[in-house]
Copies of this chain bind each other. A is one copy, B any other.
């Protein structure tokens, strides 16, 4: 039985806490949050205790920590956890500044501690099946990857301001998917973008609509399209063209009901947002972390994956700013 301390009792913290509590080999031991009431409520609903970071990390029964607190707390907790010898799960990003990420990864190496980075989409049943099929060679060598990723509605403008921008905050997930599916590293990034959804996002120095093109050393191509608004719901699709076929994962709909009338045939819009679409992915993600901790296995995705996706986000930003492709 793995005893776990979780940092963060917010929206995503609640998801992880419930998944830990439901896992047969794990136990939620502590919840830590600056909002004591939130921590207490979450702890109570899963039979855990509220404590502070130092106490939790000092408890030798705690063998793993799950970091779902705000981004600015990530590196501090990762490093403290590493020094305490805990197995670490952390939501992306490690830090918005890539140099700080590198410093953090150094600490992990020194402490010989592994980091599991929360790229939840790898655990989505459809995306996971698609990637497994690519790996098995069912469509031959990968030639072109297309990733569509659109939020139903833009986040609050206050969030936009501290988010690090669309590439670091939103497209980072797609950069991870791209690397995972291409099976090799992009060597060139070209980004273009616009502010079409909300002028306030532009005023905050960000874009809300973007297209990015990646090219790998072997010449495989990848396109990623992001929008902060898709009024029909959370749009998360991937397709991979290979020498021997094509694989694609379409959106998931809440029900299979079709309504045929004189106006046409109507089906449900896609699942609304990430909590609904990735419910199963979050469950499998935590399970993968817990199983790897239990079994002494390597983490995947790990800190290097977290860093690599973020490096692509930085390159995309540099491309957007310079108006030219950027070598990675």
Contacts and interface: CB of A to CB of B under 8 A. Distances in A.
A241 interface: yes
A interface bracket (residues with beta carbon within 8 Å of B): 35 or more
B262 A232 contact: yes
A70 B49 CA distance: 41
A284 interface: no
Interface string A78-94: 00000000000000000
Given A22-B22, A211-B213, A259-B138, A221 B194 contact: yes
Contacts of A323: 325
Given A190-B192, A268-B264, A211 B231 contact: no
A211 B194 contact: no
* Stoichiometry, copies per complex: 4
A229 B245 contact: no
B269 A262 contact: yes
A249 B245 contact: no
A16 B139 CA distance: 37
Nearest to A212: B213
Nearest to A251: B256
Contacts of A265: 232, 253, 266-269
Interface in A236-274: 241, 243-270
Contact of A126 (B210, B255, B324): B255
A249 B257 contact: yes
Nearest to A208: B143
A252 B256 contact: yes
A146 interface: yes
20 contacts: A22-B22, A129-B268, A130-B257, A143-B227, A144-B209, A144-B227, A188-B192, A190-B192, A194-B215, A194-B219, A227-B241, A230-B260, A245-B262, A246-B261, A247-B259, A248-B257, A250-B256, A261-B269, A265-B266, A266-B266
